[in-house]
Amino acid sequence: MSVIKVAILGFGTVGEGFYRTIQSHAEELTAVLGKKVEVAAILIKNKQKERDINKDVLVTTEFTDILNLPQLDVVVEAIVDKDPTYIFLKKAIERGCHIITANKEMFAHYGQELLELAKEHHVSVGYEATVAGGIPVIQTLRQLLNVNRVQQVQGILNGTSNFILTEMREKKLSFAQALRAAQENGFAEADPTNDVEGFDAFYKAMILSRLAFGEEPNWHAVERLGITSITRELIDTAERLGLRFKHIASISKSSHQLKVSVKPVLVGNEHPLYHVEGVQNAVNISSDIVGQITLQGPGAGMYPTASAVIEDLVYVCQNRPESQGFLSTSETNTAIQDLEQKEETWLLAGLFNNAIDPSIKLIEHVEDGTWIATGKKGEIEALSTQNNELIFFPIIGEYEKEQISARVAL
C-alpha cells in the first residue's frame, strides 16, 4: 500500500494532539484516503526534552532536514509565531507539498500569498484550525459559498475572553479574579494581551472576511476593542436587563460596503450567541438561501484542534488546489467602515451630564448614571468625549426590537 508522508512543525499542544490522533485513527484515515498516513519527521525547539515519539520518526531542530527527506507529501505547521513559519511553509509549497496550518496570526498576514503560491505549484492548503478550534466553520463556508450568498458572519472566536466573561457573571468575580482563574486553568497565557484585547479574534476575523467576502478591510480601520473595561457591576446591570456581555467578531457586507468589528456587545436571550459559555466558541452565519446557521464547539485544546487538522489532512489529500482558496473579488480592498450613520441601541454607563445631543434618545433609566439609549455611533462617541466617565456598549439582536419596547410600554 502506498503511503502519505507527513511532517509536523512544532510539538506543543496542537502538534502532539495531531500526532496522537494519527496513531489512534490510523485505520479510519487509511479507509478514507486509501493510503496509510505516516509521520516522517517532527520539528522541535529543544532536542533534550523527552517526548513520546516513535524511534522511526526523524526528530530535528533544523527545517532543512525535513525538506531533504526523500518523500514528503504534507507539512503540518503548529507553531505560534508568524515568522519564520511563513518561510517554512513557502519552502514546503515550492517543494510540492500540501500544507496545513493552525497559525491564525501567520495566516491572517500571509494566507493569500500562500494560497496563490500553492495554486501555482498544484498543491492544497488546509487552514480549518486557524479559526474556532474544532468547529468546522471554514469547510461550512466553503460549502455555503457554492450557491448561497453570505450576508453576515458573527462569532465568539476567543475562548479565553468568553471564559472570563462567564466567570464574572456566574461567580461574581472581578475581571482580575476571572483572568487569574483562566490562567490557572491553562486557558490564558501569562501575558493575556492577545486574548483580552481582541487581537486573537481580530486575526481570525480577517481570515473569515477574506473567505466569506473575498476581501478584508484596512486593518487599521477595524474597530477592535477588548474586554478589560467590563466590570462586575456592568455585568450585573446587564443581567438584570436580561442581557449578557459577549466579545463578538462581526463581518458583514451590504451595498458594496464591508464592515468588520471585534468588540464587546450586549445580547439578549434570542440572540444565537447568548448561551455560548465558558471556553466554547461559536459562529453564526447568515446567508440568503439557508438563512441562519450556528456552529458551536470547543475553540481550543489538544484534541478539538487536532480534529480540525486531521480533517484538513483528508481535505488537502483529496481536493484540487483550485477549489480551496478564498473568494476572488473584482472590488478593491478599500472598504470604508461607515458605522457612524446607523442608529443603534446602546447601554450607556457613567452618564452624569444631561447636556446631550437631542438626536440621542434616552429610552430607559436603568440606575444612577446608566441608561439605555438609541443613537448613531458617531453621536455616542462625541458624547463620550464630553463626559470622560462615560463608557458605552451596543445592544444587538432581538432585545432592541422587542424587549425594550415592551419594557417602555410598562
Active-site amino acid positions: 204
What span, in angstroms and rounded, lies between the C-alpha atoms of 129 and 114? 16
Sheet (strand 3-9) strand order? 58-60, 36-43, 3-9, 74-77, 98-101, 125-126
Neighbours of 74 (CB within 10 A): 24
Query: Using CB atoms within 10 A of its CB, is residue 279 exposed (0-12), middle (13-18) or buried (19+)?
Result: buried
Mapped onto helix, strand or coil, the DSSP state of residue 295 is strand
What span, in angstroms and rounded, lies between the C-alpha atoms of 408 and 374? 13
Q: Please say whether the beta carbons of 136 and 276 come within 8 A.
A: no
Phi-psi region of 249 (alpha: psi -120 to 50; beta: other; left: phi over 0): beta
What span, in angstroms and rounded, lies between the C-alpha atoms of 248 and 395? 12
DSSP 225-281: --STT--HHHHHHHHHTTEEEEEEEEEEEETTEEEEEEEEEEEETTSTTTT--TTEE
Q: Please say whether the beta carbons of 126 and 308 come within 8 A.
A: no
Q: Please say whether the beta carbons of 244 and 169 come within 8 A.
A: yes
